[in-house]
Structure 1
Amino acid sequence: MSEPERGLYIVLVSLHGLIRGHDMELGRDADTGGQVLYVVELARALARHPQVERVDLLTRRVIDQKVSPDYAEPVEDLGEGARIVRIPFGPRRYLRKEVLWPHLDSFVDNALQHLRGVGRTPDLVHSHYADAGLAGARLAQLLGVPLVHTGHSLGREKRRRLLEKGLSEESVESQYNMSRRIEAEEIALGNASLVVVSTQQEVETQYSAYENYHPKRKRVIPPGVDLSRFHPPRRGEPDPPIAAELARFLRHPARPMILALSRPDERKNIATLVRAYGENAELRQAANLVVVAGNRDDITQMDTGARRVLRQLLLDIDRYDLYGRVAYPKHHKAADVPDLYRLAARRKGVFVNPALTEPFGLTLIEAAGCGLPLVATEDGGPRDIIANCRNGTLVNPLDADAIATALLKGLTDPRRWRQWSDNGIRGAHRHYTWESHVASYLKSVRRVLREGKPRRREPGRVKSRLPSIDRLLVCGLDNTLVGGDEGALRTLVERLRASGGRVGFGVATGRSTDAALKLLRQHDIPVPDVLISGVGSEIHYSGRQSQDPGWYRHIDYRWDPEALRAAMKKIPGLRPQPAREQSIHKISYLVDPAAWPGLTKVRAHLRRLDLHAKLIYSFDAFLDILPVRASKGLALRYLANKWGLPLERMLVAGDSGNDEEMLGGSVLGVVVANYSGELEHLRDDPRVYFAAGDHAAGILEAIDHYDFLGDVRLPDEEAEAS
């Protein structure tokens, strides 16, 4: 097939931190760092390429008096077809990334609404970091497009380093929500058709720790840098304004500078750098130390991690009596960053990055472009950067003596300093431009877009009355719609009939289509307008009259039932369910809880074999294996997108963990009183109503609570979250 005439539409997703296209507040906090600069510059560079028509960078909309009103603007134009689109989800106020997890379903739903307004399905979704990876995987599943993922930093590596520093498993988990982050990364890696990494070291030593480690889908594409701002100092130019700010701290401001520039984050390892400087008299005599660790007004008002890092910095300066030798300015602007590099280069200084691990090291490229030699951590991207540019040396970030020795090596040999400076300028321009990055990126993307064609013929055309409705009630079947007071069930059926044709009725169940329809007949329940059966593996309209062909094709993506059955034969404690419970897109087993190894180990087994499936374990007795794009929750959102049904006008009723995905996001949810305990944590969700009545009585209660048959009353999420 020939290439389409119009260019690519690419959606980038980067959710945490504060993102805008000008005056970036890099270092403001642990969430607003190099990733922010990377995604904005990537969006602009992609949009400049003639093969790309449009780039939307989706991030979080923040309405908070504590931050700039820029972050509340729904859209910001980046020029040449690139835009920042801020999607509202969760409370309006600014939140750190560790507490964004419960709100990601709302992002997905609202992002879908934005994309419907665009009127064009993107060609791919590119997610950045674990939170966007989880949301991006779901968004790509719903849109039926490839996922590209960039991790930026990885949870397993971070956990390893934090444990090495002496933190306990419990503190790492409570502070960083680490298990949830690592599972999100596994999901992103399992769904991604392409994983873009900055260095080969990332592939071999960091991604290899994951169950979904499949090097064939990794592409090493070093990030680009806009080097127009990062050039060497020019002869005769005066000191920049930031020099006067540094001079306030320094007894001999003209001495060479050891420059460190990072967020006030424990991973950046500022404390070890200060110890290296403080304990080496020769180094203290040879150079001043300049630590630019974000911006601050009042340390006591900063988040816990930043507060701890900056307090330790001040204590170490006092401990080693470094007054007059160390500068630690409170504020700097984005425009000051190139000036800092050039000032350090003019004074024959060195740039140091002592981070515990550095996935890439954007600041190293910027410093190199300004002619500033490097001393950098041996863990991560600096290996490739210094190998390419030959402009510095690597160190063990936990060895303070080795850091001091390396810094002296760069500061005390003028010939070596000049060679490293010249090499860095040439190497940065040769290896790290956005033009070369985008060319490699699009070559890999085009290969991905040619893959993944459907393999089976789909069913026939769809007949449905969903286009004529303006709201939809969707109920779980067993223990939600049926199983309780038959009188309440009769009342529910009559209220739906009396509402006229504008209210649709749907059922979502783990049962097969035939078994579900049989149960509905037994209880004299009308045939639903839409039936999601087989745990989301099938969608039918008006009973069995019409199967949705798009859903059939959509979930066939990466589905290999023969290989899955072969892999599952090696798992003890499993027995295939009867043939009537199996289908083209569902493999079902009976489970002996005492004999099988557990869901986590089975999932890891399939991931290592590069088999893509969704595992659903229920009632300590049943295991269903579905395509990665199949579930009751994804099916519901597919219906909303296909038929133009606003999720805010869907009322979803459930009782168990299998219903959780349906209940999240923008829909109106109800948990009936006879629910199982795994749904208890949803009580904090303002869009999930916990009914006092069980089964159909609870559904009736929710209809009144939301005025669902009237004007539809939406909850005030901000009021309930405060």
Structure 2
Amino acid sequence: MQNTKQQQKSENPIYILMISMHGLIRGHDMELGRDADTGGQVTYVVELTKALARHHEVEKVDLLTRLIEDPNVSLDYAQPEESLGNGARIVRLPCGPRRYLRKELLWPYLNQVVDRSLHFLRQQGRLPDLIHTHYADAGYVGQQLSLLLGIPQVHTGHSLGRPKLERMLASGRKAHALEKQFNFERRINAEEEIIKHASLIVTSTQQEIDQQYGLYTNCNHSSRFRVIPPGTDTSRFSPPLRKKIQPAAQQLVDKFLIDPEKPLIFSISRPDARKNIKGLVKAYGQNLELQEAANLLIVAGTRSDIRELEESEQKIMSELLFDIDRYDLWGKVALPKHVGQEEVPELYRLAARRRGIFVNPAFTEPFGLTLIEAAASGLPFVAPDDGGPRDIVANCRSGLVVDTLHSDEIGKALLYILQDRKRWRQWANNGIAGVWRHYSWAAHVEKYMKEIRGLLRRDKKRLRRQHAIIQHGEKSYMPLVEKALISDIDNTLLGDRRSLKQLTAWLKTQRTKLAFGIATGRTIESAVAVLTKNQVNIPDVLITSVGSEIHYSKKLVPDLGWTAHIRHQWRREALAEALARFSGLELQASENQREFKLSYLATPDSMPPLNELYEYLHDLKLHAQLIYSHEEFLDVLPVRASKGHAIRYLAYKWGLPLENFLVAGDSGNDIEMLVGDTRAIIVGNHSPELAVLRDQEQIYFAQSHNAAGIIEGLQHYGMEEFAHV
């Protein structure tokens, strides 16, 4: 008897947080092919979420995505929560504008997702044991959560920016136009950081590791990569046997055809140039023997009117119709306008019943989920000899891979399969058995859970320590406060004695409702000394040494949880030795150096650019965060330490939403705490490097300087507590 979750839960079942940000995600009637962002990844994450939730070692799985309120899409995507059964659900959080956005436009809003995810997790009363992210945008979000909470990150790339950019440049596209359209620089930088940080990277094929991840600078830890081919829902995709094909699905095809009972060559993809639909039509149109042997069915997304499609899709569909006319294929090609997701399995079965073939003519295919669906349906296939199809052919022995750049090769392969009935039957049977053995969701989840068990065992001591500190440690230091004001010291809080006196007098009247804190590059000793000198009471919380230390109240009680959290991958002496070779970097005085901070005087004309320093440290297998400010200081911190990370840690620990934090700063080392869901004030005397934030939401640029700028910001935000300064 199988040991399923329904029969008996394990003693300590785990909680998995799945994150997939873009596209239209729901648990039923998935609109695959509606646009470029709603495709195979959507199927994968929803089916994986359901399959994991059924496993006896998993208590619950939350699939976190973006909430969309847009009259052009279904109201389903505006629902904050959708149950998937067995402890699985989709959780939708607002992010940026309410309307639907393509994935390339989501990047400016991802910090909001980090902040809102922390708040969501606080409400759960339990942290996840694992964060599994999908694609670079979710990978960025998951990496920040992983750093803040000390939870291991598993990542699945689905597709990668660097190989995509190389292919597009090779096709003649201009670099600046591609950057404007696809945000490649930000995506690739995020992917580099994800590769460096993730505890486990799941791929579909070895080719994905060798030829795609292999293009990345940080791909030097092969032990963290695992090939776990995705599954397919064999309850949906199954051979026709004696099952009757739905008349509606059959009519979608047959109404186009003169002789509908002929074998059916079936292809399904988005109308995208890389999918090479044009090459398939050419292969069929130039091969009279193939036309005699079979009909052709092409499902290229959905459409009501070609003229209403995006420009690139209009071009593909128009050329498709022109080519059908050019080769005079009317009555031989079916091109339905609307195919629902419930009808797709029926089309596979229809093609199998008519002893047809599935064909994926794309120029390259990282994996090939449609090939698995075809094999599960008892339908042999032809696919590109580039990427994942090689592995599928090896496992299923039910198809051929060819050079799809040459249309005649596609045509020859299709005829080769069609002309031998015995071979066709053998390959159809091979495919069904191969999918059950290698590509069912049950097989996928078993391999997945084996890797996760090993990962969590390795991480157990660290997780236990951090969970105990965060979840079961001391009570929140300020349980009664409703809001928090966190300010930098130099050039922000200090610099104008009159306005400082006015601000501190008001803060005393707000103690039961408002926490006051500082976030500074100064050491704790220096911060206390300068505050005392300027007659500022010791704040409720002190974030010092550029976010590498947190202390509380007059007793300066250290936050040991934060110390344990940021210690990860920190090798202070090795970093100091590595950076000693650069003449443009000079260590500051010893009193400015800390256990978790190296501070340098930086000469802009002599020091290397930050990206070169990062690459240099990476080559030495050293991990650090570099913060450059005032065009003269460089602070080297643990990867988990910064003012921004410290504030988000406090938001979680106190259970205080980030939008209830008002933060004030003036320089580059304040940037992380100024962006996201915090309400930010940048004082009038700010450094030039903060000008890039001028168009950011929830950031107010004050005209007044120093504490007067903070007061101006309090009045701007109009919060009741702040309005009467």
TM class, shorter-chain normalised?
over 0.9
Deviation at 1:469, TM superposition (A): 1.9
Q: 3-state SS of the aligned residue for 2:491? A: coil
Deviates more, 1:692-701 or 1:139-148: 692-701
Question: Is 1:662 aligned to residue 666 of structure 2?
Answer: no
Distance 1:386 1:585 in 2: 52
Question: Is 1:531 aligned to residue 538 of structure 2?
Answer: no
Cα distance, 1:553–1:400 mapped onto 2, change above 3 Å: same
Note if contact 2:19-2:65 (Cα within 8 Å) is conserved in structure 1.
yes
Question: Is 1:433 aligned to residue 440 of structure 2?
Answer: yes
Question: Is 1:123 aligned to residue 129 of structure 2?
Answer: yes
1:173 alignment counterpart: 179
Say which of 456, 459, 482 aligns to 1:470.
Answer: 482
Q: 3-state SS of the aligned residue for 2:512? A: helix
Question: Is 1:506 aligned to residue 517 of structure 2?
Answer: yes
Amino acid at match of 2:642: S
Distance 1:318 1:593 in 2: 64
- Structure 1 residues 379-394: aligned runs within 5 Å: 379-394=386-401
1:352 alignment counterpart: 359
Cα distance, 1:184–1:302 mapped onto 2, change above 3 Å: farther
Question: Is 1:401 aligned to residue 412 of structure 2?
Answer: no
Note if contact 1:674-1:694 (Cα within 8 Å) is conserved in structure 2.
yes
1:598 alignment counterpart: 609
Deviation at 1:380, TM superposition (A): 1.9
Note if contact 2:629-2:667 (Cα within 8 Å) is conserved in structure 1.
no
Distance 1:143 1:212 in 2: 23
2:149 alignment counterpart: 143
Amino acid at match of 1:637: R
1:719 alignment counterpart: none
Question: Is 1:442 aligned to residue 442 of structure 2?
Answer: no
Q: 3-state SS of the aligned residue for 2:29? A: coil
Question: Is 1:74 aligned to residue 74 of structure 2?
Answer: no
Cα distance, 1:604–1:299 mapped onto 2, change above 3 Å: farther
Output one character per residue of 1:334-390: Cα deviation in whole Å (capped at 9) or x when no partner: 111111111112222221122333232111111001111111122222121111111
Cα distance, 1:442–1:558 mapped onto 2, change above 3 Å: farther
1:378 alignment counterpart: 385
- Structure 1 residues 295-310: aligned runs within 5 Å: 295-310=302-317
Distance 2:534 2:302 in 1: 65
Distance 1:281 1:596 in 2: 67
Deviation at 1:203, TM superposition (A): 0.9
Distance 2:157 2:213 in 1: 9
Deviates more, 1:646-655 or 1:12-21: 646-655
Q: 3-state SS of the aligned residue for 1:91? A: coil
Q: 3-state SS of the aligned residue for 1:184? A: helix
- Structure 1 residues 206-355: aligned runs within 5 Å: 206-213=212-219, 214-235=221-242, 237-238=244-245, 240-355=247-362
Deviation at 1:42, TM superposition (A): 0.8
Distance 1:249 1:74 in 2: 42
Distance 2:25 2:516 in 1: 41
Distance 1:352 1:620 in 2: 58
Deviates more, 1:410-419 or 1:56-65: 410-419
Unpaired runs of at least 5, structure 1 = 714-722
Amino acid at match of 2:65: T
Say which of 146, 154, 158 aligns to 2:160.
Answer: 154
Amino acid at match of 1:673: G
1:482 alignment counterpart: 494
Distance 2:448 2:545 in 1: 39
Amino acid at match of 2:386: D
Distance 2:304 2:554 in 1: 63
Distance 1:59 1:456 in 2: 28
Output one character per residue of 1:38-69: Cα deviation in whole Å (capped at 9) or x when no partner: 11111111111111111111111112221111
Deviation at 1:642, TM superposition (A): 0.4
1:37 alignment counterpart: 43
Instruction: Name the Cα RMSD after superposition.
Output: 2.7
Deviation at 1:610, TM superposition (A): 4.1
Cα distance, 1:534–1:237 mapped onto 2, change above 3 Å: same
Q: 3-state SS of the aligned residue for 1:12? A: strand
TM-score by length of 1: 0.92
Question: Is 1:113 aligned to residue 119 of structure 2?
Answer: yes
Deviation at 1:249, TM superposition (A): 2.7
Note if contact 1:455-1:556 (Cα within 8 Å) is conserved in structure 2.
no
Cα distance, 1:177–1:706 mapped onto 2, change above 3 Å: same
Note if contact 2:278-2:320 (Cα within 8 Å) is conserved in structure 1.
yes
Output one character per residue of 1:412-465: Cα deviation in whole Å (capped at 9) or x when no partner: 333332232221111111111112211221221122222344599999997985
Deviates more, 1:659-668 or 1:231-240: 231-240
Say which of 522, 526, 543 aligns to 1:515.
Answer: 526
2:96 alignment counterpart: 90
Amino acid at match of 2:537: P
Distance 1:711 1:696 in 2: 14
Deviates more, 1:545-554 or 1:661-670: 661-670
Note if contact 1:464-1:542 (Cα within 8 Å) is conserved in structure 2.
no
Distance 1:149 1:170 in 2: 29
Deviation at 1:678, TM superposition (A): 4.0
Amino acid at match of 2:167: R
Say which of 657, 664, 667 aligns to 1:653.
Answer: 664
Note if contact 1:463-1:541 (Cα within 8 Å) is conserved in structure 2.
no
1:716 alignment counterpart: none
Q: 3-state SS of the aligned residue for 1:10? A: strand
Deviates more, 1:282-291 or 1:216-225: 282-291
Distance 1:455 1:314 in 2: 58
Deviates more, 1:519-528 or 1:89-98: 519-528
Note if contact 1:7-1:50 (Cα within 8 Å) is conserved in structure 2.
yes
TM-score by length of 2: 0.92
Say which of 695, 700, 703 aligns to 1:692.
Answer: 703
Unpaired runs of at least 5, structure 2 = 1-8
Work out the percentage of aligned pairs sharing the same amino acid: 55
Deviation at 1:144, TM superposition (A): 1.6
Q: 3-state SS of the aligned residue for 1:254? A: coil
2:11 alignment counterpart: 5
Q: 3-state SS of the aligned residue for 1:451? A: helix
